[in-house]
Structure 1
């Protein structure tokens, strides 16, 4: 839901930076909601925890949530009419199954036994009666609660009542819990010592498990505390960003925050860039881009629009079976950026049948040609490949080149069939990173493991401080296990001269690197080239970011 909070924008690398949003209906008290300056957890490992073992959400969740379109105006009649519309308009047949209630469904006080009470004016049949109706249509019901003392709208939270509330949800027939992060006890703008987000979310995880009812668990922690590094062991999905709104700028910012986190997602646990704003005010082209990108990133597809009155255009986007198949692919790989320059992005997502889904995304306002190759997306071994446009259904063939004219703010989405898949679009490469111009190797000075150490070049030695792995999620890692660190643009710098350092891996875009066919290595966030300072060739010459210029001190090979 919407949270009246401003994320702290630390100058360190220790936290993601979700954008904050404001809602006019929120009270002044909520504007200083707890967690506005919550203490951060230590950085976690660069790889996901073991997936939550509840055998749910083996593909990303699909459904509806009332908040984006209705805010606090939720009711039994709204949920029932939405469920019926989904049943009748093709959404249920397309795979949407959860009808989710957000905040404001309950009264401001628990009952004498400490249980939550559905608002009798809004839900005269209670949550159990609403669930029974939704279930009668073959759909499932979701509900909302909060890991703090109050929900974001000021209703009772679940902190300290986790088992009681989980038992209520199970008894009512709830199938899905969205668990928010407002009003965390003991944490306020001056800091505090309340329980960490991870511990609060874990407590509810265990409470849900004890009920014995299968309930999908969606963590809504706004991308705080590097949730993607521990979310897979706690929930079925985790919000990686602040709240979305129905604007191009918001959607684009959230895409940038989520796209670099591919290594943390998989069956049973998904990066969640927030609900879909399709039908809420963006253009049809922008709506198609959001749907394409969310599917390419294996994100939950939770509609946040007025379903009962949705236009044919909106429903056509939400029910595109070819795009949905990419999101719901059982291999469970999140697509990764294989190229990004000047606002023109190429994403590749390997699929279970050996195909690769490619998204050609134009962030700019004018039409542009976006090109890649079958090799760059990880395809090899065929003399010809079939390309299926997932929006038009048109097919074509290619011997290697993939290219399309993409309208401003638009996305062309292709399914590439033929040959074998591996290497690009999600593979990894390990070895020395050779500086072509200097004839030396990228090097961590003195085998340091201290975050902030600037990299340099040195004579190639094959030692651990010169062995890097370019991962499927476009990180460049050095060392292994608990000592693993990532190549990092210092302080998220995007200007020429920014130091290139080692730092604990955190999945942010300043730690994403594209290894390009022309020999350059570019920072996904900055678009700048990895550069040996001043074209130097001496041992110890520092490495930095610089404007790409085609010179040999910006050429590298791995292996």
Structure 2
């Protein structure tokens, strides 16, 4: 129940918040070398406005994926409550296909790994209220084939229309489409990704189109450099994520959580309904060396929500801990990520530890991430958020439920090492 002063605050703040957030986003965004590729409309019509949520096989199973594993993970999505929390897409990444195409040129499932075929797997998922995702490559090879880890050349280049029809016939709902080539001519990339987009459009099936133009490309990161929003539903703006805090590897190598957050900070203006920056999959609960602390995993969930990013889990759902499940299923964080406004947050000024995001018609969320090596009190001034400095402001931490009251024109909270507090202003 809002007090009278809180109601006054909420009703009087709308214009200020909108102006403040707009200014933050504009100031944070680096101009693209060219306009939005593919035009101003969404890449694929008929999709939900909010970011996709689901599970992807790659980070835990890689090329060892099988039909049995996918079914077990799907069942775990249902039994754990993650499906009902919004995690619906089950995405089978690389290595699902046979090493060669059929005689008519069509893709076919690996008969050993997926003996029932992909259409039957799709039926299994749909019967459980889930959606079906598959992987392909924008060159003649998939990434595993490009890297020499698997024989064959079953990428979709030259087969785009045929493969899109196959995916539609199999009732696929999501296509992950990797570049996987050392040839990185920009015009060639645009042609390759646009041809598949048009092929998907031609099926009249609303398929989430997720592209990664960075795979196999050295140095430059095309997903960060260009706005692909008219070509794809979601675009990877970095290389692969690793389950670490930071790799310091630069844009051409695997990146940690804070590396990716910093890379996406200037790109907020690209996000809108059915169009998302993709910071790669969640590594919450994913095994790694040295691995992530609980605080670091909480930060990933927090910042992916602040960026209005897809939430695609990558852990083994059949053996996750109660703690991992709690992180993935946090209702307040998911509500921020899935807010119908679909507006990505951005840093406040030049402070990479403090972000703000507008939600709903009048709402505001602030995240405080402690990147230092010791717990500390972090503060943000109300005026930096576009609010009246002496306003009566109350905020609730999305993780703990703790209430905070502004004092001296600032909101303050104690934040642990590598942790994030997400304050929802009420």
Q: TM-score range by the shorter chain?
A: 0.7 to 0.9
Determine the C-alpha separation between the residues in 1 that align with 2:196 and 2:54: 22
Shift in CA distance, 382/208, structure 1 to aligned 2, threshold 3 Å: farther
Q: Is the 8 A contact 1:49 1:231 kept in 2?
A: no
| Residues 145-167 of structure 1 deviation map (CA, whole Å, 9 limit, x = unaligned) | 01001001114100000001001
Q: Is the 8 A contact 1:49 1:230 kept in 2?
A: no
CA offset at residue 396 of structure 1?
Answer: 3.2
Shift in CA distance, 393/53, structure 1 to aligned 2, threshold 3 Å: same
Q: Is 2:248 the partner of 1:239? A: no
Q: Is 2:394 the partner of 1:404? A: no
Shift in CA distance, 126/338, structure 1 to aligned 2, threshold 3 Å: same
Determine the C-alpha separation between the residues in 1 that align with 2:298 and 2:346: 19
* Higher relative helix content: 2
Q: Is the 8 A contact 2:354 2:368 kept in 1?
A: yes
Determine the C-alpha separation between the residues in 2 that align with 1:201 and 1:307: 32
Q: Is 2:354 the partner of 1:346? A: yes
Look up the match of 1:311: 321
Q: Is the 8 A contact 2:44 2:206 kept in 1?
A: no
CA offset at residue 73 of structure 1?
Answer: 0.9
CA offset at residue 278 of structure 1?
Answer: 0.6
Q: Is the 8 A contact 2:90 2:130 kept in 1?
A: yes
Q: Is the 8 A contact 1:228 1:264 kept in 2?
A: no
Determine the C-alpha separation between the residues in 2 that align with 1:199 and 1:364: 44
Shift in CA distance, 46/54, structure 1 to aligned 2, threshold 3 Å: closer
Q: Is the 8 A contact 2:358 2:365 kept in 1?
A: yes
Equivalences for residues 376-525 of structure 1 within 5 A: 376-380=384-388, 383-398=391-406, 400-417=409-426
| Residues 171-208 of structure 1 deviation map (CA, whole Å, 9 limit, x = unaligned) | 01110000001137xx38xxxx7962111110000001
Answer with 397-406 or 252-261: which moved more: 397-406
Determine the C-alpha separation between the residues in 2 that align with 1:63 and 1:69: 14
Aligned residue for 2:60, secondary structure, equals helix
CA offset at residue 228 of structure 1?
Answer: 6.5
User: Which residue among 265, 278, 282 is the counterpart of 2:284?
Assistant: 278
User: Which residue among 165, 190, 198 is the counterpart of 1:198?
Assistant: 190
| Residues 499-527 of structure 1 deviation map (CA, whole Å, 9 limit, x = unaligned) | xxxxxxxxxxxxxxxxxxxxxxxxxxxxx
CA offset at residue 92 of structure 1?
Answer: 0.7
User: Which residue among 93, 106, 111 is the counterpart of 1:120?
Assistant: 111
Look up the match of 1:447: none
Determine the C-alpha separation between the residues in 2 that align with 1:61 and 1:373: 33
Determine the C-alpha separation between the residues in 2 that align with 1:389 and 1:194: 43
CA offset at residue 108 of structure 1?
Answer: 1.0
Look up the match of 2:35: 45
Q: Is the 8 A contact 2:213 2:223 kept in 1?
A: no
| Residues 478-498 of structure 1 deviation map (CA, whole Å, 9 limit, x = unaligned) | xxxxxxxxxxxxxxxxxxxxx
Q: Is 2:75 the partner of 1:76? A: no
CA offset at residue 226 of structure 1?
Answer: 4.8
User: Which residue among 25, 35, 45 is the counterpart of 1:54?
Assistant: 45
Aligned residue for 2:222, secondary structure, equals helix
Equivalences for residues 533-544 of structure 1 within 5 A: none
Look up the match of 2:166: 168
| Residues 366-401 of structure 1 deviation map (CA, whole Å, 9 limit, x = unaligned) | 112211122222334984122111001122332631
Q: Is 2:264 the partner of 1:258? A: yes
Supply the RMSD in Å over aligned alpha carbons: 2.1
Q: Is 2:175 the partner of 1:177? A: yes
Determine the C-alpha separation between the residues in 2 that align with 1:396 and 1:183: 50
Asked which structure has the greater CA Rg, the reply is: 1
CA offset at residue 49 of structure 1?
Answer: 3.7
Determine the C-alpha separation between the residues in 2 that align with 1:295 and 1:258: 13
CA offset at residue 239 of structure 1?
Answer: 0.2
Aligned length: 369
* Higher relative strand content: 1
| Residues 221-277 of structure 1 deviation map (CA, whole Å, 9 limit, x = unaligned) | 138335674311111100000110111111111111011110111111001111111
Look up the match of 2:212: 220
- Tell me, which stretches of 5 or more residues in structure 1 are unaligned? 1-41, 418-559
Determine the C-alpha separation between the residues in 1 that align with 2:123 and 2:403: 44
Determine the C-alpha separation between the residues in 2 that align with 1:214 and 1:151: 23
CA offset at residue 132 of structure 1?
Answer: 0.5
Look up the match of 1:364: 372
Aligned residue for 2:404, secondary structure, equals strand
Q: Is the 8 A contact 1:98 1:139 kept in 2?
A: yes
Aligned residue for 1:405, secondary structure, equals strand
| Residues 407-446 of structure 1 deviation map (CA, whole Å, 9 limit, x = unaligned) | 11111111012xxxxxxxxxxxxxxxxxxxxxxxxxxxxx
Answer with 47-56 or 58-67: which moved more: 47-56
- Pick 1 or 2: higher relative contact order, CA cutoff 8 A, min separation 6: 2
Determine the C-alpha separation between the residues in 1 that align with 2:323 and 2:170: 35
- Tell me, which stretches of 5 or more residues in structure 2 are unaligned? 1-31, 146-152, 215-219, 247-255
Q: Is the 8 A contact 2:36 2:230 kept in 1?
A: no
Determine the C-alpha separation between the residues in 2 that align with 1:411 and 1:340: 18
Answer with 54-63 or 289-298: which moved more: 54-63
Q: TM-score, normalised by structure 2?
A: 0.82
